[in-house]
């Protein structure tokens, strides 16, 4: 369990390099109600707390799904299936976000989320900062979808919630830096992470398949498990 949570945290920590590039502008544009240093830091924590809470809620939903599969005896098949999907995505550079946006109903949901986010960004209050965080957690992101796969593979409701909260906590450090400095990951670094994404995704896919086949990973592979968390969406 602890290794799984460490992996989830690592997914968020290294994946947040992408998050800073994509969501950094939102963090830098937050409508701070006060310019005091203490209020400024508190505002950033409120925003990120909202994101983590949304991730925890998503973990609850997908944890229920994972627990259902586990009780039905499909957990191994689901783990292998997710691994195969990730492997295909890695080999053919399959963009999850772009594909989902082509579906009419998901496009409508994302449009609603973005419209609400736009409204909250115009209001200078601590309450709006929290709601911006809550809404931001629902924006389309391949990294979050990979984290949700981890929540499903946990096979339990509590495991799903813990997985997503650990993932969310991992994204906070760099998002705080983005909020305080107003700077984002350069285009050069974003292109670099985009290039290594397929390889990292393939490692993650293999681990899912091995888990589904119930093949034990040697202790010497512990660092590989941690490194497998370095997942970045397009």
Please give the Cα distance from 227 to 224 (Å, whole number).
Answer: 5
User: Which residues, 6 or more positions from 173, have their beta carbon under 8 angstroms from its beta carbon?
Assistant: 13, 16
- Enter the DSSP assignment of 220: G
Judged against a pLDDT cut of 70, whether residue 24 lies above it is answered with no
Block residue for tokens 């772009």 = 98
Lowest mean pLDDT among 9-23, 49-63, 188-202, 219-233: 219-233
Which of 142, 11, 12, 154 lies closest to 79, judged by CA? 154
Lowest mean pLDDT among 15-24, 90-99, 152-161: 15-24
Sign for the CA dihedral angle at 102, 105, 106, 109 comes to positive
Q: Which two tokens stand for residue 226?
A: 């941690």
Judged against a pLDDT cut of 90, whether residue 54 lies above it is answered with yes
Condensed to tens digits (0 to 9), the pLDDT of residues 91-124 reads 776 666 677 777 777 788 888 888 898 899 888 8
Q: Tell me what the mean pLDDT of segment 16-27 comes to.
A: 66
Which of 144, 112, 114, 148 lies closest to 132, judged by CA? 114
Model's pTM, two decimal places? Answer: 0.77
Q: Tell me what the mean pLDDT of segment 37-44 comes to.
A: 78
Block residue for tokens 């949901």 = 109
Q: Which two tokens stand for residue 47?
A: 């925003």
Condensed to tens digits (0 to 9), the pLDDT of residues 174-186 reads 777 766 665 555 5
């Amino acid at each position: 369990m602890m290794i799984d949570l460490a992996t989830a945290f690592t997914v968020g920590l290294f994946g947040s390099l992408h998050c800073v590039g994509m969501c950094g502008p939102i963090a830098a544009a937050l409508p701070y109600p006060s310019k005091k240093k203490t209020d400024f830091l508190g505002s950033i924590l409120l925003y990120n707390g909202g994101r983590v809470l949304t991730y925890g809620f998503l973990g609850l939903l997908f944890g229920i799904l994972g627990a259902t599969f586990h009780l039905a005896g499909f957990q191994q098949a689901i783990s292998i299936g997710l691994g195969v999907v990730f492997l295909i995505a890695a080999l053919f550079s399959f963009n999850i976000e772009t594909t989902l946006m082509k579906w009419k109903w998901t496009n409508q949901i994302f449009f609603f989320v973005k419209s609400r986010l736009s409204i909250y960004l115009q209001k200078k209050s601590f309450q709006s900062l929290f709601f911006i965080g809550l809404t931001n957690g629902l924006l389309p992101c391949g990294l979050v979808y990979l984290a949700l796969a981890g929540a499903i593979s946990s096979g339990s409701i509590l495991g799903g919630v813990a997985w997503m909260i650990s993932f969310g906590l991992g994204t906070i450090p760099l998002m705080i830096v983005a909020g305080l400095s107003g700077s984002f990951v350069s285009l050069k670094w974003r292109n670099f992470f985009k290039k290594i994404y397929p390889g990292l995704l393939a490692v993650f896919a293999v681990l899912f398949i091995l888990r589904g086949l119930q093949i034990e990973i040697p202790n010497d592979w512990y660092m590989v498990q941690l490194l497998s968390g370095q997942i970045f969406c397009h």
